Amino acid sequence: MTRAILDPGFSVSDADELYSIRSWSNGYFGIAPAGDLTVSARGRVPIAVRDIVDRLSNEGHQLPMVLRFPDILEDRIDKVNEAFAASIAEAGYSNTYQGVYPIKVNQRRVVVETIAAYGAKWRTGLEAGSKAELALCLAHDTHDDALLCCNGFKDDDFIRLALWGRKLGRKVIITLEKAGELERVLRISKEMGVQPLLGVRFKLHARGSGQWEASGGDDAKFGLTASELIHVAERVKAEGMADSLVLLHCHVGSQLTDIRRIRAAIREAAQAYVELAEMGVGVKYLDVGGGLAVDYDGSKTTYYVSANYNLREYADTVVYTIMEACKEWEVPEPIIVTESGRALTAHHSVLVVPVVDAIGPMRRPVDLPPLTEEEHALVKEMRELEVEITVKNYREVYNEAVSNKETMHSLFDLGYLSLLERGHIEQAYNRILARVAKVVEQLDYVPEEFELLPRMLADQYVVNFSLFQSLPDHWAINALFPIVPLQRLNERPRRNATLVDISCDSDGKIDKFIDLRDVRTALPVHDLTPGEPYYLGIFLTGAYQDVLANAHNLFGRVNEAHVRLTDAGPEVELYVEGQKARRVIQNMGYLTPELHEAVAQQAAEVQESGGMTEAEVAEFLETYDRELVGYTYLEAL
Ligand SMILES: Cc1ncc(COP(=O)(O)O)c(C=O)c1O
């Protein structure tokens, strides 16, 4: 839909700056001159996301919906591998790079299949952290040289399955997370007559930076100490299996924000690697784990949702640091392995959510009946405060208004103020705040006490989705994701809003948004136009969000479309239906025929006593059954 540009002083480049799109999008997202947010990959013609959504909606598919772009996923695989290839070539590094995708980051079928199939050209492997993940990984046809790394704590079945993988001819590496696992692996390998490929995770002293700092350091949950490492090396040698110990692994956490910390960790890992090599075991892979960060806010800083390095700088740091240690100790350079998950998958998926309502203090106030009896002194005081708000008196007026509002609550609780008087005071308070905000906007320096003013004045946009199902990291660990309207980006957004989801949980809200310099407390948005859909895109959600989801309030998995980006337009490769109510109810242990039976019984009894007609019972049961198969989100509004 093309709208007239309402404010000639506002252009799409202003919108790009306002939402920092260029800074976080890695070139995959942009804005078309008509104001639509676009997606593109590999230099193809940008496509309006809104057009894809409209097409799917017209075909009867409902929002909220995840749009997955396999082209972006493939491009990310290329970009990571190309960065390492360039660093290796430039450094004159004598060995190669091989990525391994940790499927825990996103086990959705299309993601793993794309990475396994497309990644074959780069010998990309997979990483499993549990028996179920290993079972899934074994079924994927990867390149013959691709690794299948088994991390995580292991029982006998896990080890057996991994060894069957060896029999299948796969390069399955069992990485010891603790020293005690070695004897079990040795025993089962002998029982099965299989020569295992072993890895060992080293507990680095170095820590990462950011949210997952505790994954590294001396007190980390995983990994072997220096003495345990020596013990394992000696033990495999004593068993005549020195060649089995092929890989040294470390991982200091996800979303590592600071390149200096990465360098320190790799330096420590490389040192352990060269010493292991010197001890005469068969190490040839150095696996530096995951952690390659995604710059969610685009600020390029060490802030926890950002990173102070780019892909190439990361690859250079890994390659040069390992090379230095190997040169110094005259040890052959290993094949470098990384387990990047977030950096591969975050960009490829966009959650599209419709705004269904707006609530908030600055919405058009309802008309209140005038006060018929004599006005309460507090009402009068509030009116007087409204008279003139200037740079000179705004602080005084604001403090007075806040204090009057508190008094209002006390008086109301004691029955000295009526509901109507309270309504008048509330409205006066909102008007005062809005006028104070106008004054504050003009100031060069905003006093700290007024920093929350935009949030206090913000609308709440009600969004048809569940934070717990679709954006769990925002709720659990304060992760921030770029959020941008999909349309009207040639129009100045004149409102600020926080977002609330449709779950019945007050935590189901978003009131922190990315910003290049700080964190925003409200998102700039447009006024809602009755009858016109207003969509928001939540970006960079392809890592962890899909798979950490939970069905709080029984909101289930959302609909998904896999969209190829071609120069001729979008091609929906696959549509994956989200969960119906029936499915999430069944996950709670109910059998839906039994539920039907129970309500049918109640209806029959009511009918018998004359409370419902036969037709009403039939209509009720039809509605009930329809609800059981309905999409769990708001449908007809
Ligand atoms: C052992 C291991 N490897 C790889 C990863 C993936 O990390 P990231 O998504 O930051 O690349 C993780 C996640 O924390 C992990 O625990």
What is the SS3 assignment for 358-415? Answer: EECCCCCCCCCCCCCCCCCHHHHHHHHHCCCCCCCCHHHHHHHHHHHHHHHHHHHHCC
How far apart are the C-alpha atoms of 180 and 197, rounded to whole Å? 17
Question: Measured from the CB, is residue 339 less than 6 Å from ligand 1?
Answer: yes
Tokens 């040192």 — which residue?
A: 271
In terms of Cβ atoms closer than 10 Å to its own Cβ (0-12, 13-18, 19+), residue 369 is exposed
Which residue's CA is the nearest one to ligand 1's atom 4?
Answer: 290
The 10 Å Cβ neighbour count of residue 533 is: 17
Per-residue pLDDT, averaged over 413-440, amounts to: 92
Ligand 1 pocket, 203 CB below 6 A?
no
Give the total residue count for the chain. Answer: 637
Decide: 488 and 3 in contact? Cβ < 8 Å.
Answer: yes
**Which pTM was predicted?**
0.92
3-state secondary structure of 544: coil
Q: Is 175 in the pocket of ligand 1 (CB under 6 A)?
A: no
- State the chain's mean pLDDT as an integer: 93
What pLDDT is recorded for position 212? 63
Mean pLDDT of all residues in 227-251: 97
Confidence of residue 2 (pLDDT cuts 50, 70, 90): very low
One-character DSSP codes across 120-176: GGGT-EEEESSHHHHHHHHTS---TT-EEEE-S---HHHHHHHHHHHHTT-EEEEEE
Mean pLDDT to the nearest integer, 276-305? 97
Type of residue numbered 387: V
pLDDT tens readout for residues 65-101: 999 999 999 999 999 999 999 999 999 999 999 999 9
Q: What's the CA gap between 532 and 603, in Å, rounded?
A: 40
Indicate which residue's Cα is closest to atom 6 of ligand 1: 290
Q: Which of 76, 305, 339, 548 to mutate to test the pocket of ligand 1 (most atoms within 8 A of CB)?
A: 339
Q: How far is the CA of 412 from the centre of ligand 1 (A)?
A: 54
With beta carbons less than 8 A apart as the criterion, state whether 172 and 165 touch.
yes
Determine if ligand 1 sits within 6 Å of the CB of residue 307: no
Beta bridge partners of 172: 148
286 — phi, psi (to 5°)? -115, 115
Higher-pLDDT residue of 437, 480: 480
Q: At residue 17, does pLDDT exceed 60?
A: yes
Instruction: Please write the tens of the pLDDT for every residue from 162-190.
Output: 999 999 999 999 999 998 899 999 999 99
Give me the mean pLDDT over the 610-637 stretch.
91
Sign of CA dihedral 251, 254, 260, 261: negative
CA distance 509 to 531: 24
Q: Ligand 1, residue 254: give the atom nearest the CA.
A: 10
Largest Cα separation within the chain, whole Å, is 98
Whether the predicted pLDDT of 316 surpasses 70: yes
- In the prediction, which pLDDT does 114 show? 95
Q: Which atom of ligand 1 is nearest to the CA of 129?
A: 1
- Between the CA of 380 and the centroid of ligand 1 the distance, in Å, is 61
d(CA 191, CA 159): 12
- Residue 49 Cα to ligand 1 midpoint, Å, equals 30
Rounded to an integer, the average pLDDT of 471-482 is 96
Res. 370 pLDDT band, cuts 50 70 90: confident
**453 alpha carbon to ligand 1 midpoint, in Å?**
39
Average pLDDT over residues 208-226: 73
Of the pLDDT bands very low, low, confident and very high (cuts 50, 70, 90), residue 217 is: low
**Atom of ligand 1 at shortest distance to CA of 255?**
10
Using the mean position of ligand 1's atoms as its centre, give its distance from the Cα of residue 52 in Å: 32
Q: Which tokens is 49 given? A: 């996301």
Q: Which residues contact 461 (CB under 8 A, 6 or more apart)?
A: 355, 357, 358, 497, 498, 499, 500, 525, 528
- Residue 366: its pLDDT value, please? 83
**Is pLDDT at 274 greater than 90 in this prediction?**
yes
Angle at which helices 226-238 and 181-192 pack, to 10 degrees?
20
Reference 454, options 524, 396, 394; nearest CA is 524
Looking at residue 1, its pLDDT comes to 42
Strand extents, DSSP E, 550-620 = 559-566, 569-576
Q: Give the bridge partners for 553, in sequence order.
A: none
Kind of pairing between the strands at 535-538 and 349-359: antiparallel
Token couple for 62: 């409902």
Whether ligand 1 lies within 6 angstroms of the CB of 289 is answered as: yes
Q: How confident is the model at residue 209 (pLDDT cuts 50, 70, 90)?
A: low
Ligand 1 nearest atom to the CA of residue 291, by list position: 10
Mean local confidence (pLDDT), 535-543: 98
φ and ψ at 350, to 5 degrees?
-125, 130
* Main-chain phi, psi angles of 408, to 5 degrees: -55, -45
Q: How many angstroms separate the CA atoms of 223 and 216, rounded?
A: 9
Distance 253 CA to ligand 1 centre (A): 7
**Nearest atom in ligand 1 to 152's CA:** 1
Over residues 182-209, the mean pLDDT reads: 93
Flag whether pLDDT at 5 surpasses 70: no
C-alpha closest to that of 519 among 544, 483, 566, 548: 483
Nearest to 306 by CA among 485, 543, 537, 514: 514
Is residue 203 a contact partner of residue 178, using CB atoms and an 8 Å limit? no
Q: What share of the chain is helix, strand, coil (3-state, %, to 5)?
A: 45, 15, 40
The preferred substitution site among 126, 250, 254, 261 for testing ligand 1, maximizing ligand atoms within 8 Å of CB, is 254
545, pLDDT greater than 90: yes
Pocket test for ligand 1, best of 104, 222, 306, 345 (most atoms within 8 A of CB): 104
Burial class, 441, CB count within 10 angstroms (exposed 0-12 / middle 13-18 / buried 19+):
exposed
Written as six digits, the tokens of 541 are: 């959600």
**Using CA atoms, how far apart are residues 58 and 633, in angstroms rounded to an integer?**
18
Percent of the chain beyond pLDDT 90?
83
pLDDT band with cut points at 50, 70 and 90 for residue 207: confident
* 291 close to ligand 1 (CB < 6 Angstrom): yes
Q: Sorting pLDDT into bands at 50, 70 and 90, what band is 13?
A: very high
Closest Cα to atom 7 of ligand 1? 290
Closest to 283 (Cα-Cα) out of 247, 313, 258: 247
Of the candidates 118, 121, 115, the one whose C-alpha atom is nearest the C-alpha of residue 102 is 115
Pairing of β 171-176 and β 197-201: parallel
Report how far ligand 1's centroid is from the alpha carbon of 120 (Å).
20
Q: Give the CA count within 13 Å in the CB-facing half-sphere of 200.
A: 34
